[in-house]
Structure 1
Amino acid sequence: MKVSVKVAETKLSELIDAAISGEDVVIDKDDLTSVKIVPVQKLKPFTFGLLKGKVDTVPDFLEPMSEEDLAAWEGAA
């Protein structure tokens, strides 16, 4: 479905519903500019403690790297 900006201003809710149901919705501003309304997938809420009990050790990021790890990090290994 292709509509003008003027039509989109008055029928935005209907256009959003159409996009959610899978229809292509394009809004034309002029001959050179257009935008497409697409649905955004809802994200699951973040859960704290998701890995609790699944990770044995946590690295100490403030501890200096070993020479071997440093060489690998710098690409020498």
Structure 2
Amino acid sequence: MNTTTITIQKAQKQFSRLLELALQGNEVVITKDDVPFVRLVPVQPQPRVGNLHKGAMQMKTDFNEPLPDEFWLGSA
């Protein structure tokens, strides 16, 4: 991974290019008054965790039953 360091003033003019560099796996450090201010790095996708909220939802036993006419037509 290469690191590119750039001032905040120059970064404002080249933001799209800096994003492309970060998306290619490079680190981009933006400085303000020669002090590192922001670091752009690509976000690594996180694996999904199965069964994380197991049991948090419950489904009624009549879930697949047709809804009553009152649901569709409203009650008179």
Alignment of 1:46-61 (within 5 A): 58=55
Unaligned runs of 5+ in 1: 45-49, 60-77
Give the count of matched residue pairs: 50
Normalised TM-score (structure 2): 0.50
Q: Tell me the CA shift for residue 39 of structure 1.
A: 1.5
SS at match of 2:6: strand
State the alpha-carbon separation in 1 of the partners of residues 8 and 20 from structure 2.
17
Sequence identity (%): 33
SS at match of 2:18: helix
Contact 2:6 2:30 in 1 (8 A): yes
When you count strand as a share of all residues, which structure comes out higher?
2
Flag as ranges the 4+ runs of structure 1 deviating above 3 A. 41-44
Unaligned runs of 5+ in 2: 57-76
1:13 to 7, 11, 16: 16
